[in-house]
Amino acid sequence: MSSDDPKGIAPPLVELPISTADRGFYDGFSRQVTIPAKIIVTLIILWAIFFPVSANETLSAANSTIISSFAGWYVYLVAALIAICAILAIFPQTGSLRIGYAGEKPEFSRLSWFAMLFGAGIGIGLLTYSTGEPLSHFSENPDIIRGAVQAQSWDAVRPAFVYTFLHWGFAAWGTYALVGLAIGYVAYRRDLPLTIRSALVPLFGKTMSGFGGHVVDVVAVVATILGVAVTMGLGVEQFVVGLSRVGLGDWLLNPDGSSSLPAIALALAILVGASTLSALSGVGKGIKWLSNLNLGLSFLLLLLFAIMGAGLFALKLLGQGIADYIGHFIPLSLTLFSDEGPVGEQLVAWQLDWSVFYWAWWIAFSPFVGMFIARISRGRTIREYIFGVVLVPSLVCFIWMTLLGGTAIALELNGSAGGTIVNATMADQLYATLAVILDPGTAFAVSGMIVVLLMTYLVTSTDSAILIVNTINGAGDTEGEHRKHILFWGAALAAVVGSMLVLGGIEAIRITMIIGALPFSFVVALMAISIVKAICYDLIRKHQGVPTTAVGVAADKK
């Protein structure tokens, strides 16, 4: 049936004009997006710096009201995103569609593709939480709270890894995969701008050129900055502890183990400076080179723990953990704790501190990671894309957590650690584990390697975020001259992280991020509906002989 047949379905929209400035400071940028985003981020920074008491009170109130009110929304939204990814990958008709034109080949090899996924994804979190999260759940998790198992016992090990896998598995990567697919599908099949608003074009059409589209992109930029701020905050804390471990002085840490103000300033100057320089070099140079470097260093760290740590114990944990995770995946993903009952309030508090925090973090991170994944995934089929983005990184996260976290738990259970690991701050637990399994000289050298690894992960995450923010502000332009704006966003990220760390540490950044992620969570829900509609309509178009790509539409018009 031809596309001219009034009974047939219309070809897809392949044009989305977005007004950008053609001169001046904002040349090539959408002023309607860039200026409001900069104002909002600047106001957050000024609020934290000049009104710290008010900021603390507001964050505390938000933590007990807004966040708990939307806990169910975060839980069920992420579950829906995973389900949609699974359906699109499994069905032959949808899975075979390509993110690009027919026959188009991927730009990057699979190895470089996976390396960049980790470099821009959750590498920093994996370093901080590799020992920290399993040890935390080893001491407290829903099973322990209910009294089913005893804290820090052998019986607490399996549930500790089930909940760790829940947070670092399909939920994280499924969220990234869906956002990236929603953007990449319309950008590379329909030649729409590589920006967040384009993902909603299948739902709202050309209205995304105007005010509604500007709002979507502004919300995405703010969510990205706050999401990356959490990652940078975690990385800065562990980076400072690492500098202290390699002998740079006691002045780096406060008596309670947190980072001192001079240490935060030094770390941010080093990390943001390096990130900004890398961002100026672009994705094909700095980010790709650093991603390959941190993949190599991560493999060396894994190999060290496999040889010197509890390798066999970790292998057993991996098998048990995956079986338990998959076997209980659906009920775990849909569970929303109630404050009723004798331990109800404890269960709700645990879920807010862990699961809801993670779901919000992944959502806040998703505009940046999703756009970055979309940018490096052109030419792959939907099936290859979803399996590659969801399954492989999840498995590597599981291996990572069981090797590092399993070693830390084994050392505590057999008495070798004597409480030195479990009682350390989360930022110090990885270094404390190394201090137990290695002699002092080797532990010093490996701690230095972790500091370098942290720096590469921080740099790749931050510079990727800066480039993606500029891509959104530039209406999808990935090649424009954005140096002045790269410098602004680098400084803004440093200011957000620094002000929040001084204001209330990681907790202040965490609460701010969860609130900032809330508006974008509604955008993500619309993106999920939009990509399903886009793919379903394209299948109908293929059946009716109507073009589904920009090239096909152009040829059909001739």
CB count within 10 Å of CB 446 equals 22
What single string gives the DSSP state of each residue in 339-375? Answer: S-STTHHHHHHHHIIIIIHHHHHHHHHHHHHHHHHHH
User: Cα(494)–Cα(400) distance, rounded to whole angstroms?
Assistant: 29
Three-state DSSP class for 278?
helix
pLDDT (0 to 100) of residue 195: 92
230 neighbors 128 (Cβ within 8 angstroms): no
pLDDT at 142: 96
CA distance 553 to 534: 15
**548: phi then psi, degrees, rounded to nearest 5:** -120, -5
Residue 521: its pLDDT value, please? 96
Task: Give the HSE-up count for residue 339: Cα atoms under 13 Å, Cβ half-sphere.
Answer: 7
Q: Is the dihedral of CA 301, 303, 306, 307 positive or negative?
A: negative
Average pLDDT for runs of 10 along the chain of length 558 = 55 91 86 95 88 81 80 95 97 93 86 71 75 95 96 95 95 95 95 94 95 95 89 87 87 84 88 73 59 80 92 93 96 92 92 92 88 89 94 90 96 94 93 95 94 83 81 78 78 87 79 87 97 96 90 76
Residue with tokens 């099936």: 383
The whole-angstrom separation of Cα 308 and Cα 500 is 37
Candidates 473, 525, 549; CA nearest to 192 is: 549
Helices (H) and strands (E) in the chain, counts: 24, 0
Residue with tokens 């944990």: 317
Which residues does 488 contact at the CB level (< 8 Å), separation at least 6?
38
Residues in CB range of 495: below 8 A, 6 or more apart: 45, 49
Closest to 96 (Cα-Cα) out of 538, 393, 475, 524: 538
pLDDT of 67: 78
From CA 282, how far away is CA 460, in angstroms rounded? 11
CA distance 491 to 45: 11
Where helices occur in 3-122 by DSSP H, the ranges are 31-50, 52-64, 66-69, 71-90, 92-95, 110-120
Report the predicted TM-score, pTM, of the whole model to 2 decimal places.
0.90
> Please, what are the domains in the chain?
32-557 (1.20.1740)
Closest to 248 (Cα-Cα) out of 267, 269, 271, 273 = 267
What pLDDT was estimated at residue 119?
56
Phi and psi (nearest 5°) for 253? -120, 145
At 286 the pLDDT is: 57
Cα-Cα end-to-end distance for the chain = 17
Give pLDDT, residue 3.
41
> Do 228 and 41 meet the contact criterion of CB atoms below 8 Å apart?
no
Half-sphere exposure of 32 (CA within 13 A, CB side): 14
- Residue 165's pLDDT is what? 97
Asked if 146 and 338 touch (Cβ cutoff 8 Å), the reply is no
Amino acid occupying residue 71: A
DSSP bridge pairs for 363: none
Q: What amino acid occupies position 494?
A: A
pLDDT at 463: 77
